[in-house]
Amino acid sequence: MNKLLSLILTALTSNIFLAQSITAEPASFYGFGEMSSKGHGVFDAIGKNAINYFDSTLVNHYNPASYNRLSKGATLYTVSIHSRQSWYSNTNAQQFAATPMVEQFTLGFKIRKQMGMSFGLRPFSARGYQISETQFTGLDSIRYLYTGKGAIQDLYLGYSFGLIERAKTKMAIGANASYLFGTLINERSSELITGNSSAGGIERNSLVMRSFHTEIGGYFSQQLAKNHTIAISAVYQPKMMLNGTYQRELYSSATIGSPNTYDTILNNNQPFAALLAQSSQFGFCYNWKLPKYKRQTRELHPQLQILASYSLFGANTQTENLLTGFDQKNYERLSFGVQFQPEFKVLENMATLKGFEKISYRIGYYQQTLPYTNGGLQYQEQGFTLGFGVPLLAQISLSSLNVGLTFGQRTIESNIWKEQFIGARVSLIMAPSNFEKWFRKRQLD
């Protein structure tokens, strides 16, 4: 237990300072910024399918009903690192941006046979962009700089309960209760460029969020035959009012690069409220245990999983017209993925397996609209994904390293803007060894 407490304190401390989701997306100016993309090394590799992936070796906090599927006595800790390289282009210019980050911390464990629990810190949304232009006024030049930064974090606690726990039929429900906190900033500055002056002004608009949030999930799994199982899943986020504070600041300065010289023109705060629209997600998974086959002196048990999901997200709106460009559009996502495991009984047969037979191979595709618009047209995104999972078997545990790669692009129908990107997410799942399980119940005769 001391090891667990040390691990939790270390993870929480590091995430307070490091788990600030960063983005280089210009459209993050709008709304709550770039919403979290359900990131995990596993989910990224299978076409961003998330709510329909169930595995006893993974904490799926995007469908809270899945917590009761975790292995008994094995506490799972997950941390993810994400990097994205983007190439932006329009009719006039091209630009490159890269954004590495430590993204999430989660902890999950089974309470009893039918119950599971998880908690942790994960990203909710992020803002990050920088746009500049220079105009010649006739005598001097003025440089305009538009920047955005900040993130909203999601501190959650989730619980799952199995309604049906039979050999061939399983059904469960679950819920996550979250506390959203963080600050999003839009800032614009103007600077007079002359030989002996750098006078200018700054306007800074900050949105400080402090609010609660919830989501409900469920799944149903049915074994059709000895080697064939299907599962359907759903996650629902109800309409909810998010509260915060809107702060507006306006400064002028004879030296724009020295904050201690700023003269305050305006600095006020007022309550802010926005309606977080309802969202619905539906998923399907088909699990096929392929025929066993022998290779030399060992027998392999391959498994194939086919996944598909559809998500519909509602438009977020502000109750008062305080923020420019906040209101957005409904958007949706369609995802497909495949996972192949040469041997799904890795722990039982690890002594006889070769290196490539221990790996899980994943591939996927997704397409989606985005809530951002330009000239009345919504942004479109599509991506091809692939990845793999490698078990870490040094101490006979459920630990694993999962890598997901995304090759995608964002465009607008008018083709006035385009982003091509490569995303890489690495998720490390750590678990105690089989001889050192946490939360083990001990009984004296």
What pLDDT digit, counting tens, does each position of 57-83 carry? 899 999 999 999 988 777 888 988 888
Block means of pLDDT (10 residues each) for the chain, 445 residues, are 38 39 66 78 94 91 93 84 85 73 84 91 86 72 85 94 94 96 90 73 91 95 94 95 92 76 86 91 96 81 96 87 81 96 81 83 95 82 95 74 94 82 92 58 51
Would you list the DSSP string of 62-84? TSGGGGGGSPTT--EEEEEEEEE
Predicted TM-score (pTM) of the model is: 0.84
> The tokens 């025929």 sit on which residue?
291
Identify the CATH number of the domain defined by range 2-430: 2.40.160
Contact assessment for residue 270 and residue 249, using Cβ atoms and an 8 Å cutoff:
no
Cα–Cα distances in Å, from 416 out to 27, 331, 348, 383? 14, 20, 55, 20
Give buried/exposed letters for 385-401 (b at 16+ CB in 10 A, else e): bbbbbebebeeebbbbe
What is the C-alpha to C-alpha distance for residues 221 and 224, in angstroms, rounded to an integer?
10
Instruction: Decide: residue 326, CB within 10 A, 0-12 exposed, 13-18 middle, 19+ buried.
Output: middle
pLDDT attached to residue 4: 37
Question: What is the per-residue pLDDT for 188?
Answer: 87
End-to-end CA distance of the chain: 23
As a whole number of angstroms, the distance between CA 398 and CA 392 comes to 7
The two beta strands, 263-276 and 303-313, are: unpaired
Asked if 87 and 36 touch (Cβ cutoff 8 Å), the reply is no
**How far, in Å, CA of 221 to CA of 57, rounded?**
17
Indicate the domain borders of the chain.
2-430
- CA-CA distances (angstroms) from residue 112 to 85, 117, 129, 171? 43, 10, 46, 15
